[in-house]
Amino acid sequence: MVTSLRSRVAAANTWVADRPPPGPFRAGFWRSPIRGPWLTSVLGAVLLVGLPVMFATGLLSYLAYNPWLPGNDGRHASGVLTFVPFHWPASPAWGYRVTQGLHVTLGVVLVPVILAKLWSVIPKLFVWPPVASPAQALERLSLFLLVGGAMLTFATGLLNIQYWYRFPGSFYVLHFYAAWVFVVSAAAHVALKIPTMRAALRERRVRDELRTPLAGTTPEPYTPNGLVSARPAAPTISRRGALGLVGAGSLTAFVMVAPQTVGGPVSRLGLLSPRGGYDPGGGPNDFGVNTTAGEARITPALVGGLWRLEIAGGPSPIVLSRADLAAMEQHEATLAIACVEGWSSGNQRWRGVRLRDLATLSGVADPASVHVESLQDGGAFGRGRLAGNQIAAGDSLLALQVNDADLSLDHGFPARIIVPNNPGVRNTKWVKRLTFET
């Protein structure tokens, strides 16, 4: 009885397996003669170098937000993945600019490689029958997580650097979890595929293949259910040509995006980076802006003569006017704003009151953190916490001026935070209250 049921299921399976629907499920539908383990392995090798750098710099960015401080972005993103091996330092001042510039630039540069890699394995998406055994079902599920995780990680990242924030939920959370799904499934994929990759790269030397013109381009040996076409067409591009195309795509992406990480006039070369230039007519405040005063609904009345800074957390709150702040000891620091989106303002000369002097004034000797609040209502941008080591750093300022001029309204007049090695978003503009916490 059981045997006959089994054999009937097996017979049904064979019947289905022998009758793929027309189109991409049929052997021989995919005909590119250069598709095969070699091309996939070369692209995989590039990703094997690039993705760990992306993941490491991404984790550093996560740490730079001080996710362990209540109310900071990283908090709700972390959950079971809360992992803070060290507190983000305030030096070197250029640290975040380098790691995040690398993260974003590499992310864009790898897009053509990822797309080519997906193209190279596309027959695998159309395996027939779709589920042949539990083991194969598991493998397909892991590939779904791999491809889905990769797409979501890259899509959220790319939308973010183009200032498209209308995600369902927070960019931070989506990007963070998608990256973990991507990285864990990629690690499993690599462990499974390393032998195939090594064999493929041993079979054909990269050096030799890069010398092979179109005329000499032949398919790799066919194996059933593999990547090589059962019915290869005549080549229209060599493997060298295909890799050249991907390389040219990556190089173009690099040229378009890298300049914005440098900042200053150079960033105008980055034609595809939206923050290429900001031109309020030149002058000391002519550098990139995230959220103008208009967008943040900061009116001249809010920042006029009636503006006061409130300093709380000590025995009694202190209220200071801008003139009071200007009368305190001023300190100058040359620092660049480096945004999570990969762009930098380039170095600017900021002038203002040291955060640690304000902490002392408030009566909190050795604060563990400071809660910074902006006149801007609502949203993650209007508030955030900085850690004790950031307050203590000598170049951490509540800035009143930049490049010998008062801050412009767009850059945070009457006063803004500027802290070395701090993600841009934590340099709050239009500050109204500082609460020092122990």
Ligand X SMILES: Nc1nc2c(c(=O)[nH]1)N[C@H]1C(S)=C(S)[C@@H](COP(=O)(O)O)O[C@H]1N2
Instruction: Give the shortest CB-368-to-ligand X separation in angstroms.
Output: 22
Q: Is 339 in the site for Mo ion (CB under 5 A)?
A: yes
Task: Identify any residues that bridge with 336 across adjacent strands, giving them in sequence order.
Answer: 347
Which residues ranging from 202 to 241 are in contact with ligand X (CB under 6 A)? none
Q: Are 55 and 187 in contact (CB under 8 A)?
A: no
Instruction: Give the shortest CB-229-to-ligand X separation in angstroms.
Output: 48
CA of residue 191 relative to chain centroid, distance: 25
**Total residues binding ligand X (CB under 6 A):** 20
Which residue in the block uniquely carries the two structure tokens 């963070």?
176
What does the block give as tokens for 97? 């600019």
**Residue 429 binding: pick among Mo ion, ligand X, none (C-beta 5-8 Å cut-off by kind):** ligand X
Q: Are 36 and 43 in contact (CB under 8 A)?
A: no
Q: Is 263 in the site for Mo ion (CB under 5 A)?
A: no
C-beta nearest to ligand X: residue: 424
Pairing assessment for the beta strands 416-418 and 344-354 based on DSSP bridges: unpaired
Considering only the stretches 215-223, 234-242, 318-326, 373-381, report the one whose residues sit in contact with ligand X under the rule CB under 6 A: 373-381
Task: Identify any residues that bridge with 371 across adjacent strands, giving them in sequence order.
Answer: 385, 435
Q: Is 74 in the site for ligand X (CB under 6 A)?
A: no
Which residues ranging from 316 to 355 are in contact with ligand X (CB under 6 A)? 337, 339, 345
Which residue in the block uniquely carries the two structure tokens 């000891």?
329
Binding mask 416-435 for Mo ion (x = CB under 5 A): --------xx----------
Determine how many CB atoms are found less than 10 A away from the CB of residue 394: 13
**Residue 381 binding: pick among ligand X, Mo ion, none (C-beta 5-8 Å cut-off by kind):** ligand X
Which residues ranging from 380 to 399 are in contact with ligand X (CB under 6 A)? 381-382
Q: Is 161 in the site for Mo ion (CB under 5 A)?
A: no
Q: Are 405 and 76 in contact (CB under 8 A)?
A: no
Applying CB under 6 A, among 156, 273, 290, 369 the residue interacting with ligand X is 290
Considering only the stretches 56-64, 191-199, 284-292, 351-359, report the one whose residues sit in contact with ligand X under the rule CB under 6 A: 284-292
Q: Are 345 and 101 in contact (CB under 8 A)?
A: no
The 3-state secondary structure of 360-394, one letter per residue: HHHCCCCCCEEEEEECCCCCHHHEEEEEHHHHHCC
Which residues ranging from 286 to 325 are in contact with Mo ion (CB under 5 A)? 290
**Total residues binding Mo ion (CB under 5 A):** 4
Of 23, 22, 47, the C-alpha closest to 246 is 47
**Residue 362 binding: pick among Mo ion, ligand X, none (C-beta 5-8 Å cut-off by kind):** none
Instruction: Give the shortest CB-108-to-ligand X separation in angstroms.
Output: 18
Q: Is 104 in the site for Mo ion (CB under 5 A)?
A: no
Applying CB under 6 A, among 74, 232, 263, 288 the residue interacting with ligand X is 288
3-state secondary structure of 176: helix
For 107, 111, 175, 427, the CA distances from 159, given in Å and listed in that order, are: 12, 13, 11, 22
Q: By the criterion CB under 6 A, which residues form the site for ligand X? A: 288-291, 296, 337, 339, 345, 374, 376, 381-382, 411-412, 424-425, 427-430
